[in-house]
Amino acid sequence: MTKKNLDFSNTEVAFSNKSDAQLMHTLRLFRLMSNQTLVNSMSGLGLLAVRWKLPFAKMAIRKTIFEQFVGGENLMDAQAAIEHLYKFGALTILDYGAEGKTTEEELNLTMKETIKAVELAASNNSVPAVSTKLTGLADNALLEKLNTREKLSQKEQKDYDKLIFRINEICSRAESLGVSVLIDAEESWMQIAIDEIVMQMMYRYNTDKVVVYNTYQIYRHDKLEQMINDHKLCKSKGVMLGSKIVRGAYMEKERERAIEEKYTSPIHLNKEAVDKDYNLAIKYCVEHYETIGSICATHNIESNLYQAQLIEEKGIPKNHPHLNFCQLYGMSDYITFNLADSGYNVAKYVPYGPIEEVVPYLIRRAKENSSVTGEMGRELKYISKEKKRRGL
């Protein structure tokens, strides 16, 4: 294994997985996405066009943002992306793109698809984990009701039992096959319910190793403390904590709802406060790596660098299975492939699914990348730098 010093500005390593044509295609796409007005208007139109099954819509989406951010329409298609990433030192976390599901049939389908992903992961060294969303395994309305802790109706209780059955089937299959399950975090009006269910799964399955991971959204001012409390609870029960650490994807929605419904927003007042807690969360997990399996899931250069430095300072092997990094497929290759080149455990979240299913995910990615300030501006800068280096 190579043991180089980390240098995220090394674009030769970062983009060695891309041919000249692919690099130019990516550059054009990120330039297009840096136009905020275009992204905002196209997001709504794109969603409608796919819903109305307009023939050109799917094709246009497939050739642009779908190919950039999604592994394929099914597991078979995703295989090429998995192999490609592995060739360049990055692992894959499979992510079946289902969210906001309501019917029995849809909810059961998400469970079955996720179990298929677990089975594929078990037969593939380059896929250590799958990710899942409880919003694909239960109706959002049920999760919101659970969040209020009000008494459930008989029908709701049955639906809750089915949700527990579905997530348990996924975790139990994963445990028996040696695969991990990462459970995504959602809006705060569903998250109490999700946290409670994920804790149940951790108590059940994280006895010998970290099978189940919860997601801690550090943009919330209460989440660092909750992660530390969860670790203490896990320790008291003799199990390990699985912690995927993110900043959080729903800041605007959270703030708007808090204003509308007149409660204090759960989101930190500013980015500096989030960054401070994010560093503390990483530090806590590295310091307790024997009883916490953690995933530093971010596109922020400083956060990735910080975790890498802590690992090095403490003399922990860079590829210790409890210390991981993760970025989203199609984003921040300069972080992923430079971490891989330096010998750290790094993976990409690789979503897959039919285009209609992944459109909400794609819209989130396009909007995120339309913010040319901060981390996202770096993407464009580094692709341009590599273009220049290759003399294109």
Ligand X SMILES: Cc1cc2nc3c(=O)[nH]c(=O)nc-3n(C[C@H](O)[C@H](O)[C@H](O)COP(=O)(O)OP(=O)(O)OC[C@H]3O[C@@H](n4cnc5c(N)ncnc54)[C@H](O)[C@@H]3O)c2cc1C
Q: Residue numbers of the site for ligand X (CB under 6 A)?
A: 184-185, 215, 217, 219, 246-251, 267-268, 270-271, 274, 297-300, 326-328, 349, 374-375
In contact, 183 and 131? CB cutoff 8 Å: yes
Minimum CB distance to ligand X, residue 24 (Å): 25
Do 332 and 299 form a contact (C-beta atoms < 8 A)?
Answer: yes
CA dist., res. 265 & res. 258, Å (int): 5
CA–CA distance, 85 with 350 (Å, rounded to integer): 10
Question: In the block, which residue shows the tokens 């981390």?
Answer: 375
Q: Are 95 and 350 within 8 A, CB to CB?
A: yes
Q: Residue 262: what residue type?
A: K
Instruction: Please name the helix (run of DSSP H) or strand (run of DSSP E) that holds residue 68, with its range, or none.
Output: helix 67-69
CA dist., res. 380 & res. 26, Å (int): 9
Position of minimal CB gap to ligand X = 184
Q: For ligand X, which is the closer residue by CB, 40 or 156? A: 40
Q: What is the spatial distance between Cα 218 and Cα 202, in angstroms, rounded to a whole number?
A: 20
Report d(CA 75, CA 71) in Å as an integer.
8
**Which phi-psi region, left, alpha or beta, contains residue 203 (left: φ > 0; alpha: ψ -120 to 50)?**
alpha
Q: Please say which residue, 18 or 299, places its beta carbon nearer to ligand X.
A: 299
Residue closer to ligand X (CB basis): 11 or 300: 300
Inter-residue long-range contacts of 137-142, CB under 8 Å, 24+ positions, other chains counted: 137/101, 137/107, 137/110, 137/111, 137/163, 137/166, 137/167, 138/107, 138/162, 138/163, 138/166, 139/101, 139/102, 139/107, 140/100, 140/102, 140/190
Is 205 or 349 the residue whose CB approaches ligand X more closely? 349
57 vs 217, which CB is nearer to ligand X? 217
Report the nearest approach of ligand X to the CB of residue 119 (Å): 22
Which residues are registered as beta bridge partners of 217? 246
In the complex with ligand X, which residue's Cβ is closer, 49 or 191?
A: 191
Least spacing, CB of residue 158 vs ligand X, in Å: 27
The distance of closest approach from Cβ of residue 350 to ligand X in the complex, given in angstroms and rounded to an integer, is 10
Q: How far is the CB of 217 from ligand X (least distance, A)?
A: 5
Residue linked to tokens 């590295």: 286
CA-only gyration radius of the chain, Å: 20
**Whose Cβ is closer to ligand X: residue 10's or residue 298's?**
298
Least distance in Å: CB of 78 to ligand X? Answer: 16
* C-beta of 49 vs 98, nearer to ligand X: 98
Rounded to the nearest whole angstrom, what is the least distance from the CB of residue 126 to ligand X in the complex?
A: 16
Nearest distance in Å: CB 201, ligand X = 15
Q: How far is the CB of 302 from ligand X (least distance, A)?
A: 8
> Closest CB to ligand X among 89 and 248?
248
